[in-house]
Amino acid sequence: MRLSRRALTGYAFVSPALIFLLCFSIGPILFAFYVSFHEWDMLAPVGAMPFRGLENYRYLLTEDPLFFQVLRNTVVYTVAAVAISAVLGLALALLLNRRVRPLAFWRAIYFLPIVTSSIAVSLIWSYLYNTNYGLFDGLLALAGLPQHRFLDSPSEALPSVIGVGIWQSVGYYMVLFLAGLQGIPQEYYDAASVDGATTWRAFLHVTLPLLRPTILFVLVVNTIGALQVFDIIYVMTGGGPVNATYTGVVYIYDTAFKFLRMGRATAMSFLLFAIILVITLAQLRLLRGGFEA
């Protein structure tokens, strides 16, 4: 088959990026899969890594005292952060969409944390949460309320971190919902009010159904993101105290770069990836067929 000059030009334009993706995405993921069946410290030559079959996966799923704790923390973080951010974000978007002005002013304020380095966010919040000299402790003391240890307490650390996650991302949810709301034609609301619908009923029967694609998008994208939380946990708690905030990617990072167990870390990566896939597919299925009123 002879290719036209035009077709060859097409190949020339797309091939650098494709070769790059082969080297830095597709190849590496296949290599990581290979590593997950081996024992490797990344120092030994690739050819010499001992084959361990399913041992890494077996260890994580049956023997590892941390795996299920990590999994639980990751899921709790994700469900709480995404659910609360989504509700607050939608509420804010509704406020700003119609009633509260000027839009750009309020939107900018809620959006500030999105553009802020999460390491800076973590430093600030670690200080705010500090048991001895943080602002929250100071306010609790002023109000005569019992002391909380926040990040230092095994029972309060995860909710505290979730709070930071929500503060950090609620503006992002809000902006996405605002975009969705602005796509709903005013005529629908006019028609609803002619039919005598209350604000609440208009919300239930006009806003929510028409917002469904946005809701689906917001939940799926942010769930995938939250399941990979790393920065704020690594900096604020390092996964502690007593593993109370240890989440998936922090665990993968430690296993690989602290303990040099590449086989186990890659196996963990694929398990976490599988969990992300399952949750995403479940969301797509549930919400597609969802609130058909």
Partner 1 sequence: MRRRLAVGEVAITAALYLITAVGAVIMLLPFYWMVASSLMTLPEIIARPPVWFPRVPQLHNYADLAAALPIDRIYINSLIVTISVTSLVLFTSSLTGFGFAKYHFPGRDTLFLLVLATMMIPFFLLLIPVFFIVKELGWVDTYLGLIVPNAVTAYGIFLMRQFILGVPDELLDAARIDGSSEFGLYWRIVLPLSGPALAALTILAFLYHWNAFLWPLVVIRSQDLWTIPIGLNNLRLYASSTDTLDLQMAGATIAVVPVLVVFVALQRYFIQGITLSGLKG
Helices (H) and strands (E) in the chain, counts: 14, 0
Residues forming beta bridges with residue 51, ordered by sequence position: 38
User: Strands, E, within the chain: which ranges?
Assistant: none
Per CB under 8 A, 217 contacts partner 1: yes
Closer to partner 1 by Cβ: residue 65 or 144: 144
**Residue 51 CB, nearest distance to partner 1 (Å)?**
17
Among 148, 189, 273, 283, binds partner 1 (CB under 8 A): 273
**Residue 191 CB, nearest distance to partner 1 (Å)?**
22
The region of 50-58, 185-193, 203-211, 230-238 touching partner 1 under the rule CB under 8 A is: 230-238
Q: What angle do CA 23, 38, 26 make, to 5 degrees?
A: 20
Number of other residues whose CB lies within 10 A of the CB of residue 127: 12
Closer to partner 1 by Cβ: residue 128 or 292: 128
74-103 footprint of partner 1 as x/- string (CB under 8 A): ------------------x--xx--xx---
Interaction residues for partner 1, span 186-205 (CB under 8 A)? none
Please name which of 213, 208, 214, 216 lies closest in space to residue 188, comparing C-alpha atoms.
208
* Sign of the alpha-carbon torsion through 33, 38, 41, 43: negative
Interaction residues for partner 1, span 154-183 (CB under 8 A)? 167, 169, 171-172, 175-176, 179
User: 160, 151 in Cβ contact below 8 A?
Assistant: yes
Per CB under 8 A, 124 contacts partner 1: yes
For tokens 């002619």, name the residue: 194
Helix (H) or strand (E) segment spanning residue 162: helix 157-182
Closer to partner 1 by Cβ: residue 20 or 51: 20
DSSP at 150:
G
Per CB under 8 A, 224 contacts partner 1: yes
Among 53, 62, 63, 132, binds partner 1 (CB under 8 A): 132
* Sign of the alpha-carbon torsion through 272, 278, 284, 289: negative
Interaction residues for partner 1, span 231-250 (CB under 8 A)? 231, 234-235, 248-249
Side chain identity at 159, as an amino acid letter?
P
Per CB under 8 A, 25 contacts partner 1: yes
Q: Which phi and psi angles does 38 have, rounded to 5°?
A: -130, 175
**Residue 195 CB, nearest distance to partner 1 (Å)?**
20
For 36-65, the DSSP string reads TTB---SSS-GGGPPB-TTHHHHIIIII-T
Closer to partner 1 by Cβ: residue 125 or 244: 125
The region of 64-72, 104-112, 154-162, 185-193 touching partner 1 under the rule CB under 8 A is: 104-112
Interaction residues for partner 1, span 42-61 (CB under 8 A)? 42
User: 145, 136 in Cβ contact below 8 A?
Assistant: no
* Site size toward partner 1, by CB under 8 A: 92
Per CB under 8 A, 113 contacts partner 1: yes
Among 50, 54, 116, 201, binds partner 1 (CB under 8 A): 116
